[in-house]
Structure 1
Amino acid sequence: MTMTKPVQADTPTPPPDDAQVTTADLRRAAWASSIGSALEYYDFALYSLASALIFGPLFFPGADPTTGLILSFSTYFIGFLVRPIGGIVFGRLGDRLGRKFVLMATVAMMGAASTLIGLLPTYDGAEGDWYGAGGVGILAPVLLILLRVVQGLGAGAEMAGASILMTEYAPRRRRGFFASLPFMGVQVGTVAAALIYFLLYSAGKDAITSTWHWRIPFLASIVIIAVAVWLRLRLKESPTFRKLEARDQIAEHPLRELLSNSRPTLLRGIGLRLAENGSSSIYQALAVAYVTSAAVGVKGPIGALSLVFAATLGAVMVPIAGRLTDRFGRVKVYRGFATFQLVAAFPVWWALSRGSTVITIVVISLALGIGTWGMFGSQSAFMTELFGSRHRYLGVSVAREVSAVLSGGLAPLLGAAIIAAVVAADGGSGTPGAGLGSWVWLAGYTALLCAITVATTFVTPDPTDRDLEDPRDAVDALRQPA
């Protein structure tokens, strides 16, 4: 049964509430949220590219290239695995202590972890390491994993907080547009990481892995931390949370309340995210590893170049998608982008298997820039409005991060195993175009995630413009209208 009727509020939100948020407040919130998003996705794109291109020889040098790729993506997956824990811990704090407090903590954790990765010793040591020491053996990947865990814990609530904050700040009729603005920070972070890797990779892969140059992108995180913390110190708490606090309506046990009352909404949120989060990891990390592997044989900094073009297109698409949801509703727009990604899955992976540099850049740009980031831009207000006010932060965090484990974290790991199996079956010849059959499996996995999301949109109510002070989830508000 299709449920796309917008959920109406119990009682209209009084006009004076909107008046309490000044233009300066709205602008400051947008900047504070966007910078944090830029940091998260700078780290995300940075780690994706490093996992696909350099972490294997730096931290797992004893393995053959395909096994090293699997081990490298395993550390990538660990970051996703702990994100639900971070979502639960910081989501509870966000619903009890406020959005601002958590956003300060998460941006500091992510930035510190990324910066420290840039200071790690490697397995064998590299010529020109700044600390003048040799490798530390197995301790190197252990330290990498520990810092990846810290990254994952912080990321588990960062994007949820940014989207909630802007949705609760924004004027009701323009929530989709304003809530999408922090997600433009995603494109800024992605472009920054990709450009840095492109410049470094232009000197040659061996030059990166044998010198300290690979550390530069990670160390640069400290600059973003400083700016993000400064902006968030000056930020006011969200208007919705201030009202809950003033009325003493803050949930004492938001996790218990969430699990008791919001399981249907959680399942819908997870289903909605599978295509977006899965496709993001698939095209940013797995596709890059695939086209540069012996299965296809593309040479050069193709991954970085693809991300630059894709993120530039995404920066345009994100606010357009947000504005479209204000006009046509959250569900219809989100379903449209998910359907595009579903239809494109097999043609995109077939094109990637051809081994053409130009075609690779074009199809990754379209798949990411339009499909994935179109969903991203239309998702922010959508996910926030699905949950009731008392456990909103926790609900959005858990839905986002459980889906991140199921799709975003697993996708590169499973895909790397498929690539390794195909290369092994071909004898590891390294011939460009060898093992083209692997693209069918990779496309099938992408299409499966998208199909689940499209199906989920048909059982999800449209929460456009609902009252954010309503403690009920959108599903319950639709069943029991005022």
Structure 2
Amino acid sequence: MTHSAPAASARRVPWRVSVASLVGTTIEWYDYYIFGLLAATGVFSKLYFPDQDPATGLLLAFVTYAVGFVARPFGGLFAGHFGDKLGRKPMLVLSLMIMGVATLAMGLLPTYAQIGVWAPILLTVLRLAQGFGAGAEWAGAAVISTEHAPEGRRGFFGSFTQMGVPAGMLLANSSVLAVKAFVPAADFAVWGWRVPFLLSALLIATGLVVRAKLEDSADFKELVAAKQTAHNPLGEALKKESKGVWLVVGMRLAENSAFYLYTTFSVVYIMKTFGPEQANQGSMSVLIASAMGVIAVPLWALLSDRIGRKPLYLFGSIGGLLFFPLYFVMTDTGSALLATLAIIIGLAVFHNSMYGPQAAFFAELFSTKLRYSGASMGYQFGSVLAGGIAPLVAVALLDLGQGHPGWVILYFSIIGVITIASAILAPETMKRVKAHVEDASLSAQTTTGEAGAPVR
């Protein structure tokens, strides 16, 4: 009985770490999505770009939104470097603080009428800070959740990080809808839009309290104790484990493109198909699919702990490629039910079958010494090449095809083939022995252990 309390406490650690990752990631993405949602309402174009015509002002607001994607790789590189040198926890706390300060400042930012041209400049700077914080967030949360997970359950515990994305989207949409419900439209355009930003202060405080109690994993502590942490993690990851970095980039392309095509481009496409009188149908469909994603993500991750990461990634990438043309067929019927079902299948089934086990899959591709840097670089580079531009490219290609989605389908097919090839080339990592203090590279992984599992 004397050992029962410590044993129970040890069993709770993976849950505490994963829940902390979920809370923090949800808050990060709540903050990140709030900007995009409010930009779409035209608030920023009127208050921060008033000298432009409405269309140009809205475009400038979305350009400000897009700069957040530009900053994400820099946040990922910064956090990856110091996360492998100083520890995962400090970077997770710092990323949350950066995002929190930037979001709170947006809620307090004076308008163009008050401070002139400095208003849009500061808005852009704060959006860059949001992007930097978001870029620093993912790999740290994924790595610390995976490293603390019990053997054989890394997929499931790593998926708590992934659940933060649909949860953050739900929370962001809900907060905006709630404020709109209680604040008159005229007041919302003046001050009500600030409320969702200011509410993030409470969320950030909660997240910081939760994350302050985290500890780095035993794997990383062993590296520190042995004084074998990397001197130049980014450089070493590119030199010694570059194969893993590029595999992550390739596997990220179709997954991230699919997410933004279904959550952003589909809203535009549904509005064009259904007409402006049903402008909210696309948003409602995405909300429903996001709610289902909170459940689907951990279920796919659980399955990956049983049959492997690679089979699910191939299922999602191949199935997603084949289903994408059917999305347009179902939406073009003009049926709200079929359009919603198409997005649910695209997101909850094919996208989430890749996204659910992704945290564990990507983290397991790298040694402990370079895990934060390697996973972060691959993930964020893939985000810029795919998710950041996918909706813009799709809209341009739709116009090129005069409303016919053929070019959009071809674009996604090319991306899908790259992801399928990358998943085929990637090793199965489910049974891979966790690295401790060794400095192994992917290219050296030819030794096999029991059941043919690569040993790191």
- 3-state SS of the aligned residue for 1:22? helix
2:451 match? none
2:321 match? 342
Determine which of 449, 452, 456 is the counterpart of 2:415.
Answer: 449
Q: 1:209 to 1:61 in 2, by over 3 A?
A: farther
Alignment of 1:297-312 (within 5 A): 297=276, 299-312=278-291
1:22 aligns with 2:14: no
1:477 match? 445
* Contact 1:194/1:307, CA 8 A, preserved across alignment: no
Name the CA distance, whole Å, in 2 between partners of 1:137 and 1:352.
44
* Contact 2:32/2:131, CA 8 A, preserved across alignment: no
Alignment of 1:71-86 (within 5 A): 71-86=60-75
1:386 match? 365
* Contact 2:273/2:334, CA 8 A, preserved across alignment: no
* Contact 1:21/1:239, CA 8 A, preserved across alignment: no
2:30 match? 42
Cα deviation, residue 354, structure 1: 5.4
2:3 match? none
1:322 aligns with 2:301: yes
Q: 1:88 to 1:380 in 2, by over 3 A?
A: same
Cα deviation, residue 60, structure 1: 4.0
Q: Over residues 394-439 of structure 1, what are the superposed CA-to-partner deviations in whole Å (9 max), with x where a residue is unaligned?
A: 11111111111111111233345456x57xx9xxxxxxxxx532x3
1:232 aligns with 2:211: yes
Q: 1:120 to 1:365 in 2, by over 3 A?
A: farther
Aligned residue type for 1:265? G
Aligned residue type for 1:393? Y
Q: 1:371 to 1:43 in 2, by over 3 A?
A: farther
Unaligned runs of 5+ in 2: 1-5, 449-453
Determine which of 113, 118, 122 is the counterpart of 2:107.
Answer: 118
User: What is the aligned residue count?
Assistant: 442
1:156 aligns with 2:124: no
Aligned residue type for 1:110? M
Name the CA distance, whole Å, in 1 between partners of 2:127 and 2:33.
13
Cα deviation, residue 119, structure 1: 2.3
Aligned residue type for 1:406? L
1:99 match? 88
1:395 match? 374
* Contact 1:290/1:296, CA 8 A, preserved across alignment: no
* Contact 1:99/1:237, CA 8 A, preserved across alignment: yes
- 3-state SS of the aligned residue for 1:118? helix
* Contact 2:316/2:351, CA 8 A, preserved across alignment: yes
Give the alignment's TM-score, normalised by structure 1. Answer: 0.83
Cα deviation, residue 219, structure 1: 1.8
Name the CA distance, whole Å, in 2 between partners of 1:334 and 1:45.
26
- 3-state SS of the aligned residue for 1:409? coil
Q: 1:374 to 1:208 in 2, by over 3 A?
A: farther
Aligned residue type for 1:85? F
1:31 aligns with 2:10: no
2:195 match? 216
1:458 match? 424
Cα deviation, residue 271, structure 1: 0.5
Determine which of 152, 172, 176 is the counterpart of 1:197.
Answer: 176
1:145 match? 124
2:434 match? 468
Greater displacement, 55-64 / 463-472: 55-64
Cα deviation, residue 286, structure 1: 2.6
Cα deviation, residue 310, structure 1: 1.2
* Contact 2:238/2:374, CA 8 A, preserved across alignment: no
Q: 1:212 to 1:90 in 2, by over 3 A?
A: same
1:14 match? none
Q: 1:365 to 1:179 in 2, by over 3 A?
A: same
Identity %: 35
- 3-state SS of the aligned residue for 1:436? coil
Cα deviation, residue 180, structure 1: 0.9
Q: Over residues 286-324 of structure 1, what are the superposed CA-to-partner deviations in whole Å (9 max), with x where a residue is unaligned?
A: 322443469953534335422321121111111111111
Greater displacement, 104-113 / 51-60: 51-60
Name the CA distance, whole Å, in 2 between partners of 1:209 and 1:302.
22
Q: Over residues 199-255 of structure 1, what are the superposed CA-to-partner deviations in whole Å (9 max), with x where a residue is unaligned?
A: 455689965763322222222211211111001111111121111111211111112
1:365 aligns with 2:353: no
Aligned residue type for 1:436? G
1:252 aligns with 2:220: no
RMSD of the alignment, in Å? Answer: 2.9
Name the CA distance, whole Å, in 2 between partners of 1:30 and 1:86.
22
Q: Could you say which structure has the greater relative contact order, defined with CA pairs below 8 angstroms and 6 or more residues apart? A: 1
Larger fraction in helix: 2
Cα deviation, residue 96, structure 1: 0.5
* Contact 1:69/1:416, CA 8 A, preserved across alignment: no
Cα deviation, residue 390, structure 1: 1.2
Q: 1:92 to 1:260 in 2, by over 3 A?
A: same
Aligned residue type for 2:403? L
Greater displacement, 54-63 / 406-415: 54-63
1:432 match? none
* Contact 1:274/1:404, CA 8 A, preserved across alignment: yes
Name the CA distance, whole Å, in 1 between partners of 2:8 and 2:221.
11
Greater displacement, 194-203 / 145-154: 194-203
Greater displacement, 316-325 / 347-356: 347-356
Give the alignment's TM-score, normalised by structure 2. Answer: 0.88
- 3-state SS of the aligned residue for 2:356? helix
Name the CA distance, whole Å, in 2 between partners of 1:328 and 1:159.
25
* Contact 1:180/1:318, CA 8 A, preserved across alignment: yes
Aligned residue type for 1:97? L
- 3-state SS of the aligned residue for 1:252? coil
Cα deviation, residue 197, structure 1: 3.0
